[in-house]
Amino acid sequence: MRRSSLFPFVVLTMVVPVLTLLCLAQHIPAGTAIKVKIEANQWDKDLLLKKLNDHGADHGMKFEAADSGYEYRIVFATGQNKNTLLGLAGAGAVNYSKAGVTAYDVSGNELFSFERANRYTDSGAANAAAKEIIKRLRQLRHSQKK
């Protein structure tokens, strides 16, 4: 009998600290948003900003759209890519989505440029691009701190 009465206490003492840590790990302190100017059509701009914030949260990064006072300017576009190597049987070439990114610092110096292709949707291409942007910005920001 005594064992069953301790069970809720043991579970609570284990679960509450874990939940507290998870909540604190997801908290991003105010004022840490990275201001970016995204040059793209409205659909692509909103999509990229959402993907940057979705994946940036894993690294304590929050992105905020800005037309002035930004740290980085990102030129972004999605499009279609005809892939003749990955054709379907009897269907020939298949169109896939791609995303192109070029990022600049405040002074207009190009920081990096890349393309992610062969994704099934524009959302998938934007997702891959956002992950790469975050990876490269983390590297740049880390090297600037040294």
Instruction: Dump pLDDT digits (tens) for 12-33.
Output: 455 455 444 444 444 444 447 9
Taking the C-alpha atoms of residue 135 and residue 118, their distance in angstroms, rounded to an integer, is 20
Interacting residues of 33 by C-beta distance below 8 A, sequence separation 6+: 62, 63, 64
Q: How would you classify the pairing of strands 72-88 and 33-39?
A: parallel
Q: How many domains does the chain have?
A: 1
Question: Is residue 13, in this structure, part of any structural domain at all?
Answer: no
Q: Which domain holds residue 53?
A: 32-145
Question: Is residue 55, in this structure, part of any structural domain at all?
Answer: yes
Match 């997801």 to its residue by tokens.
Answer: 26
Question: Is residue 38, in this structure, part of any structural domain at all?
Answer: yes
Calculate mean pLDDT across residues 53-77. 95
Question: Is residue 135, in this structure, part of any structural domain at all?
Answer: yes
Question: Any idea what the CATH number is for the domain that residue 135 is in?
Answer: 3.30.160
pTM for this predicted structure: 0.72
pLDDT of the residue at 22:
46
145: DSSP letter: H
41: DSSP letter: -
Instruction: Dump pLDDT digits (tens) for 67-108.
Output: 999 999 999 999 887 766 655 555 566 778 889 999 999 999
Taking the C-alpha atoms of residue 30 and residue 137, their distance in angstroms, rounded to an integer, is 20
pLDDT of the residue at 146:
65
